Amino acid sequence: MGAEEGRCFRVRKYRVKGKGAILMAKEAACKIGPVVLLGPPGAGKGTQAKKIVEHYGIPQISTGDLLRENVRRGSELGKKAKAIMDRGELVPDELIYGMVAARLRQTDCQRGFILDGFPRTAAQAGWLDAFLEKELFDNEEKCPPTVVRLDVDYTQLLLRLTGRRSCPTCGRIYNVHFQPPRSDELCDVDGSKLLLRNDDREEVIRERLAAYEAQTKPVAQYYQAQGRLIPVNADRKAEEVAAEVSGVINRHAAVCAGNEVAKPE
Ligand code: AP5
């Protein structure tokens, strides 16, 4: 990527009104760089990632969504992954790498991207660093990921997971306890019947939380040792969490672009 594209340039041609709109226009044109959302199942990674997509215009790369899409299509990868996911275990690293590499090579990732659910093992974290170094960073411009860990109390996680429903058409996430749809079990946006995820049954949830403790906690340690881990209290309203995450991303974007970026109002 050239120096010009790496700058967080001002967007004079945007016809916007008010401070908030100007700020959003600038953020939508900035280089954001890689952002990793880390956290246990149900912490709100998907919920926050969707807000980031809307606000910054960079893509969400959710390995869980990519795997579920493969299962739905009945691809070779999907066939291998389905039973493992239904048990709440992690899909082997070697099945994940090709899928993530293919997605990161797409052109919409050049300004930045949010990784949701990846990396999930220390080996995946090492693989990501090596991949970014080899394929995405040029010599002058290195921008290692900023890593936001969403921290949520265990009991709250259980409520979030058992209450989650999602729209099969637009992907919007609801919660029957905290963010219910206006009409019972129907999506507010397109009216589709909301679905309960296969792995949101209680016995599978326990397995997923155990996998997080054993395999994903070391990922936080990996990033903490490099001074890249930013813990965020996610036991608050989604909007409050989003405001803090935005602050983290703005600071990261400023570093990545080698320029100042507007601070949140
Ligand atoms: P994946 O799809 O990544 O699931 P997960 O990590 O278990 O996370 P979730 O999607 O369950 O939760 P979330 O943090 O996104 O929370 P959400 O925003 O939905 O992975 C599924 C499986 O795929 C894995 O078990 C594994 O088998 C496999 N896999 C995926 N990636 C892999 C990898 N890299 N390596 C190996 N295997 C991999 O929110 C949850 C609920 O809470 C929602 O109802 C929401 O409305 C609600 N909520 C969110 N925020 C708030 C808030 N602030 N207040 C109140 N409610 C809230």
Predicted confidence (pLDDT) per residue in 39-76, tens digit: 999 999 999 999 999 999 999 999 999 999 999 999 99
- Token representation of residue 216: 């994903």
The residue contributing the CA closest to ligand 1 atom 40 is 42
Q: Which of 14-18, 89-93, 187-191, 225-229 has the lowest mean pLDDT?
A: 14-18
User: H or E stretch including 223?
Assistant: helix 217-225
Ligand 1 atom closest to 47 (CA) = 18
Please state the pTM of the whole predicted model: 0.87
Q: How far, in Å, CA of 77 to CA of 89, rounded?
A: 15
Name the residue with the closest Cα to ligand 1, atom 41: 160
Q: Which of 254, 56, 220 is nearest to 150 (CA)?
A: 220
**Ligand 1 pocket, 46 CB below 6 A?**
yes
Query: Between 255 and 204, whose confidence is greater?
Result: 204
The Cα-based distances of 27 to 10, 24, 93 in angstroms read 9, 5, 33
Please give the sequence-ordered ranges of beta strands (E in DSSP) within the chain, or none if there are none. 33-38, 60-62, 112-116, 146-151, 164-166, 173-175, 229-233
Q: What is the DSSP letter of 265?
A: -
Alpha carbon of 130 to ligand 1 centroid (Å): 25
| Cβ of 118 below 6 Å from ligand 1 | yes
Residue with tokens 């890689």: 34
From atom 29 of ligand 1, which residue's Cα is the shortest distance away?
64
Q: Ligand 1: does its nearest atom lie under 6 Å from the Cβ of 40?
A: no
**Pocket residue to mutate for ligand 1, from 38, 45, 204, most atoms within 8 A of Cβ:** 45
- Which candidate, 80, 44, 100, 64, places its Cα nearest to that of 197? 64
Question: Span 201-205, mean pLDDT?
Answer: 92
State the distance from the centre of ligand 1 to the C-alpha of 44, rounded, in angstroms.
Answer: 6
Please give the average per-residue pLDDT across 20-32, as a whole number. Answer: 61
Nearest atom of ligand 1 to the alpha carbon of 120: 34
The answer to whether the CB of 96 is under 6 A from ligand 1 is yes
164 in ligand 1 pocket by Cβ < 6 Å? yes
Residue type, position 3, single letter: A
Is 44 near ligand 1, meaning CB less than 6 Å away? Answer: yes
Residue 164 pLDDT exceeds 50:
yes
Alpha helices (H) along 18-104:
18-29, 45-56, 63-73, 76-87, 93-104
What is residue 254's predicted lDDT score, i.e. its pLDDT? 87
With tokens 């340690």, the residue in question is 221
> Could you say which DSSP state residue 44 is in?
S
CB atoms under 10 Å from CB of 109, counted, come to 15
| pLDDT averaged over every residue in the chain | 87
Question: What is the pLDDT, as a whole number, of residue 31?
Answer: 84
- Would you state the structure tokens that stand for residue 167, as one six-digit string? 């729209």
Tokens of 155: 């009991």
d(CA 104, CA 101): 5
Cα 116 to ligand 1 centroid, rounded to whole Å: 8
Q: Which residues are catalytic?
A: 45, 120, 164, 197, 208
Is residue 8 scored above 70 in pLDDT? Answer: no
Q: Is the CB of 90 under 6 A from ligand 1?
A: yes
